[in-house]
Amino acid sequence: QSVLTQPPSVSAAPGQKVTISCSGSSSNIGNNYVSWYQHLPGTAPKLLIYENSLRPSGIPDRFAGSKSGTSATLGITGLQSGDEADYYCGAWDSSLSAGVFGGGTKLTVV
Amino acid sequence: EVQLVESGGGLVQPGGSLKLSCADSGLSFSTSWMSWVRQAPGRGLEWVATINQDGSEIFYVESVKGRFTISRDNPKNSLYLQMSSLRAEDTAVYYCARDRRLSTIFGVIMYFDYWGQGSLVTVSS
């Protein structure tokens, strides 16, 4: 299983808000920075959040990241059908000297 | 703008070798950390390897140590992944990505802001 733990799936109605959690440890999230990615099948992953809470240019403020202790959260407001995708958190793990990702969360907008 | 294009994927028998390439058409290749990330069928993203700007710092996921070698050629704006002793579990789409890695007093920043389209590697007899 993955070093970072995410729920396998989340769902919400269009226009609503959803949060995706990412749980780790002191060797990764607790002492390093978290990033988040959106991945649609057959395409390259897209960076949504870096350095825990910063958005690259072009990413709408409907996407927000936060971190507390050894956990991080991605929040998405005003859900749209186009937000249906897999979402991954990532961080450096200082004990493993390796990058680590969460197992991914499939978002369904129903 | 950075554009990454992978090549070299294909079908290989277990125990065989394959070399992936990633060409960067942008202007920042020689000043950037670069990484390989893979996704096996039905699985999530897995970080594979990272190399710094001049190749003096390299990290690998445990499962590929001793079998995979990441390298780069800055004058050619190219990143490589030499894979040997391939196993069925190495079957995946392999992405190259620009790694915005920075070590700070507050921790390591690592994120991937540009990705290639992916190259499929299938290990099967």
pLDDT of residue A5: 98
A70: Cβ contacts below 8 Å, ≥ 6 apart: A23, A24, A25, A26, A28, A29, A30
Chains A–B, number of C-beta pairs less than 8 Å apart: 81
Q: Report the residue of A31, A32, A55 to disrupt the B interface, i.e. the one with the largest count of B CBs within 10 Å.
A: A32
pLDDT of residue B35: 98
pLDDT of residue A35: 98
Asked if B70 and B61 touch (Cβ cutoff 8 Å), the reply is no
Contact (CB<8Å) A47/B101? no
What is the arithmetic mean of pLDDT over A84-110?
A: 97
Please give the single-letter amino acid code of residue A19: T
For the cut 80, the answer to whether the pLDDT of residue A50 exceeds it is yes
Q: Which of A44, A88, A98 sits opposite B115 (nearest CB)?
A: A44
Strands of B40-83, DSSP E: 45-51, 58-60, 68-73, 78-83
B chain contacts of residue A100, beta-carbon cutoff 8 Å: 47
How far is the alpha carbon of A9 from chain B, nearest alpha carbon, in Å?
A: 13
pLDDT of residue A42: 86
d(CA A41, CA A28) in angstroms, rounded, equals 27
Q: pLDDT below 70 — which residues of chain B? A: none
The model's confidence at residue A51, banded by pLDDT at 50, 70 and 90, is: very high
